[in-house]
């Protein structure tokens, strides 16, 4: 029985007891001269008020905390939950309530399920082989709901597993809210509920936006920060294993209102702990996106038993994403149209063979426009890109090196050198 049910039971029990006493007083067989009925009634009323007061106070204290988290969605006067600092939403502090204790990895499963089932789907904002992404509302606030296609259930399992077992709260990693599995007309529906970012994916954003070099730097640096957090193992009670993403691309990066980005889609990620000496590559038959595959993945020379290999493939893809952003960056009034990596060398939806010929055999790299060399920030990003694209995987930069180099250009933002020192 729950605590509140026990309170109610005690309250009801005491009230029954008091009323039984009162009733007993009325039917007593004691001679009238010994009964003192007015004294009995006074004592009983005092007792009743005391019990009701104490129970009322306890119930008030108990429900006041829960009320701020889980208001009834049917209540149309529900107060809009606040988004502090115009950055990530907190969903009424529900994570503070649950996540600062225990493993600290997320909400309990039952709470996740309850939340997911209170969501109203509003509009479809994305569709692909993976399934669909919807904007939904929970307690008046927008959430993103990714509905996985049945053939991609392994990605749902993997992402759910990682978000529920690894402490991944970071400004540049998509914020997880809940996972839910339901049965509908004998088919299984798999939902992943996350923070909603109204500006959508980086791929969508770059189609219609061009950038100043400072904004390009902010995006690239925020991605590097997210990747450093993923790639780094933290050994402590609130620590985390190292994670490699394996499908980094502009469609898997979201743009936030503050101009930073966050990394999404952990469905293919691999986990490594030096501390526990284990490498978990998961059981997903899915492979990464061919256009973004590193040469060693395309020619199958990658050492799949070595975790570092996966981080090196992420760095290759990170360089390609930087290239996509740099094309849309205005320098001396010049900007290029959005194009995906290798757009001039392979057709859309390229085969392995087509990619392998370009990347492994001919060892071609995306072309870099001359204007990029004339700006200090952009020439630094060009140098980074080239060092993300070395044929020899161990020669590539690490995410931490990318982050440190970009931070040197960033004097007046959240990523100032002091913050960087804290993170190391």
What are the residue numbers of the active site? 247
Among 197, 218, 231, 396, binds ligand ADE (CB under 6 A): 197
What is the bridge-based pairing of β-strands 253-255 and 242-244?
Answer: unpaired
N-to-C CA span, the chain: 47
Which one of the spans 49-57, 59-67, 107-115, 191-199 is the region binding ligand ADE (CB under 6 A)? 191-199
Tell me if 201 contacts ligand ADE by CB under 6 A: yes
Q: Which two tokens stand for residue 117?
A: 């089932």
Which one of the spans 93-101, 197-205, 273-281, 387-395 is the region binding ligand ADE (CB under 6 A)? 197-205
Tell me if 144 contacts ligand ADE by CB under 6 A: yes
In the complex with ligand ADE, which residue's Cβ is closer, 195 or 290?
Answer: 195
Chain Cα centroid distance, residue 248: 15
Among 196, 338, 389, 415, binds ligand ADE (CB under 6 A): 196
Tell me if 155 contacts ligand ADE by CB under 6 A: no
Q: Enumerate residues 71-130 that contact ligand ADE by CB under 6 A.
A: 125-126
Q: Report long-range pairs for 413-416 (Cβ below 8 Å, ≥24 apart).
A: 413/218, 413/221, 415/221, 415/222, 415/225
Which one of the spans 45-53, 108-116, 178-186, 189-197 is the region binding ligand ADE (CB under 6 A)? 189-197
In the complex with ligand ADE, which residue's Cβ is closer, 196 or 342?
Answer: 196
Tell me, by CB under 6 A, how many residues bind ligand ADE: 13
**Phi then psi for 142, rounded to 5 degrees?**
-70, 140
Which one of the spans 84-92, 194-202, 348-356, 396-404 is the region binding ligand ADE (CB under 6 A)? 194-202
Question: Rounded to the nearest whole angstrom, what is the least distance from the CB of residue 349 to ligand ADE in the complex?
Answer: 20
Q: Of 181, 156, 176, 160, give the one whose Cα is nearest residue 284.
A: 156
Among 194, 313, 329, 380, binds ligand ADE (CB under 6 A): 194
Q: Enumerate residues 259-298 that contact ligand ADE by CB under 6 A.
A: 264
Tell me if 133 contacts ligand ADE by CB under 6 A: yes
Question: Rounded to the nearest whole angstrom, what is the least distance from the CB of residue 144 to ligand ADE in the complex?
Answer: 3
Q: Of 316, 218, 318, give the one whose Cα is nearest residue 263.
A: 318
Among the residues of 70-196, which ranges form H helices? 94-99, 109-117, 153-165
Question: Rounded to the nearest whole angstrom, what is the least distance from the CB of residue 281 to ligand ADE in the complex?
Answer: 25
Distance between CA 263 and CA 251 in Å, rounded?
10
Tell me if 200 contacts ligand ADE by CB under 6 A: yes
- Yes or no: say if 170 and 152 are a contact pair by the CB < 8 Å rule: no
Q: Of 382, 391, 243, 264, give the one whose Cα is nearest residue 316.
A: 391
Distance between CA 180 and CA 55 in Å, rounded?
36
**Chain contacts with ligand ADE (rule: CB under 6 A):** 125-126, 133, 144, 174, 194-197, 200-201, 254, 264
């Amino acid at each position: 029985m729950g605590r509140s049910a026990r309170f109610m039971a005690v309250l009801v029990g005491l009230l029954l007891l008091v009323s039984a006493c009162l009733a007993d007083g009325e039917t007593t067989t004691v001679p009238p001269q010994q009964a003192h009925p007015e004294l009995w009634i006074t004592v009983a009323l005092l007792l009743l008020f005391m019990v009701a007061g104490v129970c009322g106070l306890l119930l008030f204290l108990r429900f006041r905390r829960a009320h701020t988290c889980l208001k009834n969605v049917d209540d149309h006067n529900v107060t809009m939950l606040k988004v502090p600092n115009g950055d990530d939403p907190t969903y009424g502090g529900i994570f503070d309530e649950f996540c600062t204790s225990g493993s600290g990895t997320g909400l309990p499963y039952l709470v996740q399920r309850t939340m997911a089932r209170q969501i109203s789907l509003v509009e479809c904002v994305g569709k692909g082989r993976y399934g669909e992404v919807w904007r939904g509302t929970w307690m008046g606030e927008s959430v993103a709901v990714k509905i996985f296609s049945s053939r991609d259930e392994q990605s749902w399992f993997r992402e759910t597993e990682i978000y529920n077992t690894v402490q991944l709260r970071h400004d540049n990693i998509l914020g997880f809210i809940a996972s839910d599995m339901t049965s509908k007309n004998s088919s299984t529906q798999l939902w992943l509920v996350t923070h909603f970012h109204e500006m959508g994916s980086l791929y969508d954003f770059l189609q219609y936006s061009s950038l100043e070099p400072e904004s390009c730097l902010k995006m690239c640096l925020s991605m590097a920060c997210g990747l450093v957090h993923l790639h780094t193992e933290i050994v402590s009670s609130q620590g985390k294993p190292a994670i490699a993403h394996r499908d980094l691309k502009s469609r898997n990066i979201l743009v936030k209102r503050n101009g930073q980005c966050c990394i999404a889609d952990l469905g293919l990620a691999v986990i490594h702990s030096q501390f526990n000496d284990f490498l978990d590559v998961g059981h997903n038959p899915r492979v990464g996106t061919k256009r973004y595959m590193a040469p060693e993945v395309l020619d199958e020379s990658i050492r799949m038993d070595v975790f570092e290999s996966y981080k090196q493939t992420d760095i290759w893809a990170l360089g390609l994403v930087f290239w996509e952003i740099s094309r849309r960056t205005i320098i001396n009034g010049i900007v290029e149209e959005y194009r995906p990596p290798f757009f001039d060398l392979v057709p859309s939806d390229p085969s392995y063979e087509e990619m392998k010929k370009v990347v492994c055999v001919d060892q071609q790299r995306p072309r870099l426009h001359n204007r990029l060399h004339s700006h200090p920030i952009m020439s630094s990003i060009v140098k980074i890109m080239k060092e993300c694209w070395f044929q020899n995987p161990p020669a590539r930069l690490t995410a931490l090196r990318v982050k440190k180099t970009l931070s040197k250009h960033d004097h007046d933002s959240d990523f100032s050198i002091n913050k960087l020192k804290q993170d190391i």
